[in-house]
Amino acid sequence: MTIIQPNKNSFKIEFFISIVMLIFIASAVWGVFLYNQTVNFKHETENISKILKQSEIENAELKNILYSMIDLKSSESLVISESLVLEKDPEYIKTASEQQLTINN
């Protein structure tokens, strides 16, 4: 006589299906987490890029100010306005510690 037991193998199949579903759900949650991190990283790099461009602009402005301050034309006008004399042949002396000093004539 044959005994039919339809639910005998269903536990193994249900266990396998539940493990596969758990893996699928965990991978979906992990994918959302990775996508969120990627979007945050993209926004952060865009913000850093904007800050870098702004810093480059400020650096260029500061260089422009520096170059205008040490420009030969502005230094000549400073010499004239302060009644300074350009020494064409300065004389140097050395101290015991090998520092050079100038002598104004």
User: Could you give the 3-state DSSP secondary structure of residue 102?
Assistant: strand
First to last CA, the chain: 132
Within-domain flag for 58? yes
The label of the residue with tokens 């269903």 reads: 10
Within-domain flag for 87? yes
Domain range for 52 is 27-103
Within-domain flag for 74? yes
Quickly state the pLDDT bin for 14 (edges 50, 70, 90).
Answer: confident
Quickly state the pLDDT bin for 79 (edges 50, 70, 90).
Answer: confident
103: its two tokens? 């002598």
The answer to whether the pTM exceeds 0.75 is: no
pLDDT at 5 over 90: no
